[in-house]
Amino acid sequence: MTRSVDLNADMGEGFGPWTMGDDEGLLDIVTSVNVACGMHAGDWDVMERTFASASARNLGLGAHPGFPDLQGFGRRRIDLAAASIGNLVAYQVGAARGIAAKTGSEIRHVKLHGALANMASEDEALARVCYEAALAVAPEIIVMVMAGTAQQSAAAALGCRVACEIFADRAYTDDATLVDRTEPGAVIRAPQRAARRVVDMIEAGAILSESGKRIPTRIDTVCLHGDTPAAVSMARAVREGLAAAGIGLAPFPGTPL
Summarize as ranges the residues that interact with a copy of itself (CB under 8 A).
14-20, 38, 41, 43-45, 47-48, 68-73, 76-80, 83-84, 86-88, 90-99, 101-102, 104, 115, 133, 136-138, 227
Of 92 and 121, CB closest to a copy of itself: 92
Give yes or no for a contact between 62 and 107, defined as CB atoms under 8 angstroms apart.
Answer: yes
Closest separation in Å from C-beta 32 to a copy of itself: 20
What are 165's strand-pairing partners?
Answer: 146, 221
Distance between CA atoms of residues 211 and 179, nearest Å: 11
Q: Which is nearer to a copy of itself, 154 or 195 (CB)?
A: 154
In the bound state with a copy of itself, the residue whose beta carbon lies nearer, of 47 and 163, is 47
Nearer to a copy of itself, 88 or 234 (CB): 88
What is the nearest approach in angstroms of a copy of itself to the Cβ of residue 126? 15
Return the CA Rg of the chain.
17
**Beta-carbon neighbour count of residue 203 at 10 Å?**
13
Query: How would you label 206-228 residue by residue, b for 16+ Cβ within 10 Å and e otherwise?
Result: bbbbeeeeebebbbbbbbbbbee
CA distance 86 to 76: 18
- Report in angstroms how near the CB of residue 16 gets to a copy of itself at its nearest: 4
Instruction: Output the smallest distance, CB 103 to a copy of itself, in A.
Output: 8
Residue 88 or 194: the one with the smaller Cβ distance to a copy of itself is: 88
Q: Rounded CA gap, 89 and 86, in Å?
A: 5
CB of residue 149 to a copy of itself, shortest distance in Å: 19
* Residue 222, beta-bridge partner list: 7, 166
